[in-house]
Structure 1
Amino acid sequence: MIRSIFLFITVLAVSGCTLFQPQVRPDAPIDLPEHYSLYSADEPGPGRWWEAFGSDELNRLVDTALAGNFDVRTAWAKLRQADAVLRQAGADLLPTLDADAGAEKSWTQTKTDSSSRTHTDSKTFSAGLSAAYELDLWGRLGSLRESEALEYEAVREDLDAAAVTVSAEVVTAWIDILSLRRQIDILNEQIDLNQRMLNLQVLRFANGQSDALEVAQQKEALAAAKANLPPLKLDEQIQRHALAVLLGLASSKDLPVSQSTLPELITLPAAGVPADILAARPDVRAAGLRLKSADWQVSAARADRLPSLTLSADAVFSSDSLDLLFSNWVATLAASITGPIFDGGYRAAEVDKTRAEAEEALTGYAQTVAEAIQEVEDSLATETRQAEYITLLEEELEASRTSMKASRLQYLNGQANYLDYLSAWTSVQSLERQLVDEKATRIKNRVTLYRTLGGDWTRNLAGDA
């Protein structure tokens, strides 16, 4: 009879983990398009894609950020927390063993009559062991551990997502700084040229070849060019401060950024198909893992509505002499079954709650996938339109330079006034700075495209976890 009961318990313990398996869900939480609307694939870029810029300076900045960025360091701390919670969930599947020990000394006085007293004293030493083990008959504890294991993996994906975001933000800030420096250099050249033109106009005025209006107009052009300088310098300082924070620094004083020219555009990455997002994006992977974790929570809540079986064993040792402590003992072995009879619907409500949380996780997963595809589509669309815009802007700049040369020739020949020439020249100066800014925008969008496509290069991240 005892053997039959033991065999029954063993079968339940083995099969319990599969009794409330989570529901099987499709690979994708929403219908995915077969391909992106805009794309012509080039060769895929490297895993650490920013190295394609060929800048040792940039490589050092990104490596510094991946080690010292506040978000990345926070993600490592959260990963350590998740690891501890996972180990706790695993510990619930194992027996517990506690030990206790004590010593007691007592004194007793007994008075028998007015002149007689009796004194006695005693010593007692005790020790004990207590063990308990809950058999996971229905897979509740196993489901909770599986849920925490998936949550741990999701937190690791959060770390990878933080690294992907931080690396892209560092590269973007670096490009912004280089773009602003290039615009400042161009503006300084333009200010210098405007100053020389003013000196020429003053000389022409002194020789009667120009009037006061033309001198005033050139002074206005010089002042306008100088007025554009402080905002650009301010923007550069702000970007340096932002980059310092990305690196985990409090000051940009010693920020190692010496380059002043924009890098070449790196290779267009191979985007693949939208379904690749499910495996390539760490934030998408994290959302999918959290959905699975929520499903295992449902399994645990369902199993919690059934009785639980706990085995316990106790051994107590006691003696009034320390050397005889382990000669006197009492051992107890027990089994107890606990099950809900009436809980006011608490456990049923818990099942409903965890199912609703799983549906929330499913919606969040679907939204994450949809937004990831949108980001890729936006970046691909920007790739095409920004390239077209830069081409047209270059054509506009070329036409503006031609117009400026013609205006200058007509002015020198007395066929046009100085304001026409000055307007054409101001337009050229503005377009030169704008073109630098738009080229930087295109490079930054290429960076965004790499970020939106994700990748698995973060698997090699090292930290304190």
Structure 2
Amino acid sequence: MIFGKECQSLLTILSLFSLSGCAVHQVNETPSLPVDSAQVRQYATFASATADGGKLSAVPAVPAVTAVAGAFWWQAFERPELDLLIQQALADNPGLGQAMERVRQARLLSRQSASRGKPELSLQGAASREWEGRQPDAWLWSAGLGAAWELDLFQRLESQRLSDRYSEQARQADAELVALSLSSEVANAYFGSVAAANKLQLLRQQVQLDQDLLDLIQLRRDQGVGTVVDVLQQESQLAESQTLIPLAESELRSFENLLDILVGELPDGSNRIPDAEQLSFDARMPPLGVPADLLVQRPDLRAALADLVAADASIGVAVAERLPQLTLSGSVAEGATSSYEGVLSSLAANFTGPLLDWGRRKAEVERRKSIYQEQLLRFTELFLGAVEEVETTLYQEQKQREFLKRLRHRRDILQRAQEESDARFKQGIDDYLPVLTALQSLREIERDLIDEQLELLQLRIRLHLVTGGRMPQI
């Protein structure tokens, strides 16, 4: 047992340790922004979100009205089938399931560390018997309760609890990032399937038109107006259109199979998209806010920030490892010894502290400080990269809209050129070559328009992804 003078001696030793230069590490749970906060908050929104921000004066402005902030990000596309697919993916995708298991593991570790520093109670019992010669002695036995409690004098246990708690938050944010990425993959596969189906439908229409035109040219040749060359040229055009159909069918099946896998099912060879689905969507922008808002909106930044605090707390653990540990223990038992039978009780204090470890614990402190600096630099890099991703995606979407506008204008010109050359051919003014040239250019640009509209949709999906689009809790 420890009484007056012994207690004073122990407290004196602990005081000497606390004054020896190994001060308790203070964890900063609210780290500052990785760059100047005034710099990232000086704009009402991202620079590339406005046409008058200095950078984009020549680019048509994206409509200023923003989409409804309360909906999940994919609901801005107003596709009920897409809603159902993403809901199914969030429920059944095995990749997301793995991420949730990692969250569960981190939560259990956090629960373990939260229990440390509290008194532990154990059931104790023992029995023994000894012989001297052939005569056994009486049984010696005890049965009762034991307790132990480590006093967290220098916040070693508290720092570990803090580190594990923030690690749990980081894994939760990692899982949310997996869910966000999964939802964007489903949306990309969905609209990729739509684009492939639209292209396949266009190709079949072109094949039918080519066949009708071939029939007309053959009729003209039979009437002595056309030539064999005209027939052969149109047959070549028809064959070219037909060769593109298998590629479009393969592309459609690839996207549909990917959708099956993303929602956690085996590919079944059937289409999940509606037959009449198109690639148009509401051009209103999602809520953007200021760059600093990404720290709250983006799961990867929240994970990096939580990992940063966890690394800071781990420094506190390493610092406390250099300081003494004090554990109180005691027991109450009913038992019998060689000289006594009745209630047996004990109370003890165990004191341990490092004296000579040749710099090992100090090196561990420095190592964890280096890990913290690495996490801080990683956090800074991620934040700056996140701002760049939003700015670039906004700019690319505006330029893609401009490109599509000009591409449609060119399509209209080619449409008129094809109609005029076709009319002159039927009137016998020109031969078939201008018709074929105009027709080939028009067909190519019609297919390009589908690809570029898909690219615009993918940029909008990416914008939701890089801004941390609103997701349901997982």
Q: TM-score, normalised by structure 2?
A: 0.86
Alignment of 1:156-195 (within 5 A): 156-195=172-211
Q: Deviations over 1:256-277 (max 9, x none)?
A: 4334422431331131211111
Structure 2 counterpart of 1:205, one-letter code: R
Q: 1:114 is matched with which residue?
A: none
- Structure 1 residue 371 and structure 2 residue 385: aligned? yes
**d(CA) in 2 for partners of 1:441, 1:260:** 20
**d(CA) in 2 for partners of 1:456, 1:22:** 31
Distance change >3 Å, CA 129–CA 209, structure 1 → 2 = same
CA contact (8 A) 2:174 2:300 kept: yes
Q: 1:79 is matched with which residue?
A: 103
CA contact (8 A) 1:379 1:448 kept: yes
Report % sequence identity.
Answer: 30
CA contact (8 A) 1:107 1:122 kept: no
| Bigger mean CA deviation after superposition, 243-252 or 173-182 | 243-252
Q: Deviations over 1:116-152 (max 9, x none)?
A: xxx7686554324332211110111101101111111
**d(CA) in 2 for partners of 1:59, 1:25:** 36
- Structure 1 residue 45 and structure 2 residue 68: aligned? yes
Q: 1:94 is matched with which residue?
A: 118
Q: 1:29 is matched with which residue?
A: 34
CA deviation after TM superposition for structure 1 residue 446, in Å: 1.1
- Structure 1 residue 346 and structure 2 residue 360: aligned? yes
Aligned to 1:64, the other structure's residue is in SS state helix
Distance change >3 Å, CA 422–CA 361, structure 1 → 2 = same
Q: 1:444 is matched with which residue?
A: 458
Structure 2 counterpart of 1:79, one-letter code: V
Q: 2:61 is matched with which residue?
A: none
**d(CA) in 2 for partners of 1:296, 1:247:** 39
Q: 2:344 is matched with which residue?
A: 330
**d(CA) in 2 for partners of 1:334, 1:154:** 40
Match of 2:246 among 222, 227, 230: 230
Q: 2:306 is matched with which residue?
A: 289
Alignment of 1:411-450 (within 5 A): 411-450=425-464
Q: TM-score, normalised by structure 1?
A: 0.88
Aligned to 1:188, the other structure's residue is in SS state helix
Structure 2 counterpart of 1:271, one-letter code: L
Alignment of 1:42-441 (within 5 A): 42-46=65-69, 47-103=71-127, 110=134, 123-253=139-269, 256-266=272-282, 267-319=284-336, 328-441=342-455
Q: 2:58 is matched with which residue?
A: none
CA contact (8 A) 1:177 1:240 kept: yes
Q: Which runs of 5+ in 2 are unaligned?
A: 51-63
Alignment of 1:446-465 (within 5 A): 446-458=460-472, 460-461=473-474
**d(CA) in 1 for partners of 2:418, 2:120:** 88
Q: Deviations over 1:183-236 (max 9, x none)?
A: 110110000111111122222222211111111100100010011111111111
Structure 1 counterpart of 2:353, one-letter code: G
CA deviation after TM superposition for structure 1 residue 415, in Å: 3.1
Root-mean-square deviation (CA), in Å?
2.8
**d(CA) in 2 for partners of 1:8, 1:45:** 62
Q: Deviations over 1:69-108 (max 9, x none)?
A: 1222112101110110001111111122222334557788
Aligned to 1:437, the other structure's residue is in SS state helix
CA contact (8 A) 1:42 1:270 kept: no
Distance change >3 Å, CA 217–CA 263, structure 1 → 2 = closer
**d(CA) in 2 for partners of 1:343, 1:6:** 24
Distance change >3 Å, CA 255–CA 420, structure 1 → 2 = closer
Distance change >3 Å, CA 249–CA 24, structure 1 → 2 = closer
Distance change >3 Å, CA 24–CA 250, structure 1 → 2 = closer
CA contact (8 A) 1:45 1:268 kept: no
**d(CA) in 1 for partners of 2:132, 2:182:** 74
CA deviation after TM superposition for structure 1 residue 49, in Å: 2.2
Q: Deviations over 1:16-42 (max 9, x none)?
A: 9x9421358752112454442311342
| Bigger mean CA deviation after superposition, 427-436 or 260-269 | 260-269
Q: 1:323 is matched with which residue?
A: none
Q: Which runs of 5+ in 1 are unaligned?
A: 111-118, 321-325
Q: 2:4 is matched with which residue?
A: 2
**d(CA) in 1 for partners of 2:9, 2:263:** 61
CA contact (8 A) 1:244 1:255 kept: no
| Bigger mean CA deviation after superposition, 395-404 or 30-39 | 30-39
**d(CA) in 2 for partners of 1:138, 1:185:** 72
Q: Deviations over 1:156-207 (max 9, x none)?
A: 1112111111111111110110111011101100001111111222222222
CA deviation after TM superposition for structure 1 residue 50, in Å: 1.6
CA contact (8 A) 2:73 2:470 kept: no
Q: Deviations over 1:265-294 (max 9, x none)?
A: 133113121111111111111111111111
Distance change >3 Å, CA 259–CA 151, structure 1 → 2 = farther
**d(CA) in 1 for partners of 2:146, 2:448:** 78
